[in-house]
Structure 1
Amino acid sequence: MRAAHTLRVVSYNVRAFKDDTDALKEIIRLMEPDVLLVQEAPRHPLSGHRIARFAADIGMTWANGKRGWMSTTLLTSLRVHVHDSVHRNLEVRKGDEPRGYALATISLPGHSPLHVASLHMSLRSDERKPQAAAVMSVLQPDVIPAIIGGDLNETPGHDVWKMFGETLHEATLDEFTFPSKAPVKRIDAIFASASLPHSRPVFSLDPAKLARATDHLPLYVDFDLSSLAL
């Protein structure tokens, strides 16, 4: 039984369900996230049905919302109350793959709200810094505590990591996340407000299933929301 103050956040690039979705579902069910930050969700016109069905299969819910062509979204468990959620695009060059973020205001029972966001940054280095600035201007972690995670498409020490690190603290370990079969790069991360202490839950995740599920490894963090208790 999870503690009443604990919020488990998982960030996962699912590569549009193009790989072994049974392995993917099994991995997510084992991690039991309260919030699943999804990157590369299917984005074709009828993909909402696939996302909703996937959410149901792993015991989560999808707030839906107008996504346009953007492939970033988030799912929540039944213990999480979603006050509102939006999907927004980030500026990219004409003809490039759409990039964006999903932002929700959520709360646990008996706790004040916080923001959670899933994002997927551009492959172009000159676009990522203004994209990160756009996300932070909406997230406003100085007003309401926030957790943000996703596929940054750059390694630590570069613009996005520095920008997020100025206001938030990094909640994930210094471990490679891509590609899942033989990871050599760390391009995924979760950041959070300093008022939200964190720890890493312990799972026994099968490396073979992780490699079959998608091309990224998942990130997972338990946040202590005691500071938000009413």
Structure 2
Amino acid sequence: MNDAAGAHRVRIASYNVRGLKDDHAAVVDVIRAIAPDVLLLQEVPRHPLSGHRIANFADELGLTWFGGARFRMSTTLMTDLRLDVLDARHGKLPTRRFDEPRGFGMATVRLPGHRPFVACSVHLSLRETDRMPETEAVLAAIGSADAVVGGDLNEEATGTAWRRLAGRLPEVSERAPSYSAANPHKQIDVVFASSGLTGQTPRLDLEPALLAAATDHLPVVVDLDVSSLAE
């Protein structure tokens, strides 16, 4: 990417890290190699005392984690100091009683010299009938803002939640299997973005063995062109 294009580039990565239960050094190496500006995470540790562990993880990655109440959910995001974070929060998604809490991590970020956009990490239910209400809640939280949404949808591109998100925010990640890392055979992880924001998949030299050791999902990485937001 040339210097002019790089001035408008924001690298987005979405990654399900399976509770950091696998090879910790491997997942750190993968994310450092990606060097994201925005890291959309799913399945970070969610027990009540895990905040310090996530903060330490962010320090290892050289990223900033905004912390705050997570409502026992496992979805969050981190950012590079290259971006300004104007506000950030975690929000709840509708879940059935006794089900694992689900929610989203959301931040309004700005590349200097550009207007802000919303970045949102999601992890939808394993239950098909629950994914549409969760999706509507995410879209309501975003509103009319320019936005990037990425995460583990637990369904493929033919699913109703996927198609609903794509109707509001076109896909910017490539169509490629994301699960499992050891045997990629289906795509359930994706990044969407507002129509004025276009994406290109960078070519990263990541060894398959390293990716398989890190977690059970492959990361989804997009270089987002935010030149439409330039001031």
1:175 shift after superposition: 1.0
**Deviation sequence 1:56-101 (CA, Å, 0-9, x none):** 1111010111101011000000101111011012111111111111
Q: TM (normalized to structure 1)?
A: 0.97
Q: 3-state SS of the aligned residue for 2:6? A: coil
Q: Is the contact made by 2:68 and 2:90 (CA closer than 8 Å) also made in structure 1?
A: yes
- Per the alignment, residue 212 of structure 1 pairs with 213
**Runs of 4+ residues over 6 Å off in structure 1:** none
Q: Give per-residue Cα distances to partners, 1:154-213, cap 9 Å, x unaligned.
A: 111111111011111101111111111102221111000110121111111110010000
Residue 83 in structure 1 maps to residue 86 in structure 2:
yes
Unaligned stretches of 5+ residues in structure 2 = none
Identity %: 48
Q: What secondary structure sits across from 2:209 in the alignment?
A: helix
Q: How does 1:58-207 map to 2 (within 5 A)?
A: 58-140=61-143, 143-207=144-208
Amino acid at match of 2:227: S
1:164 and 1:24 map into 2 onto residues whose CA distance is 28
- Write the distance in 2 (CA, Å) between the matches of 1:43 and 1:197: 33
Superposed CA offset, 1:96-155 (max 9, x none): 111111111000111110000000001110000111011101112xx3210000000011
The RMSD of aligned alpha carbons is: 1.1
Return the alpha-carbon distance in structure 2 between the equivalents of residues 218 and 169 of structure 1.
19
Equivalent pairs counted in the alignment come to 228
Distance in 1 (alpha carbons) for counterparts of 2:126 and 2:145: 29
1:203-227 superposed Cα distances (whole Å, 9 cap, x missing partner)? 1111001000001000000011111
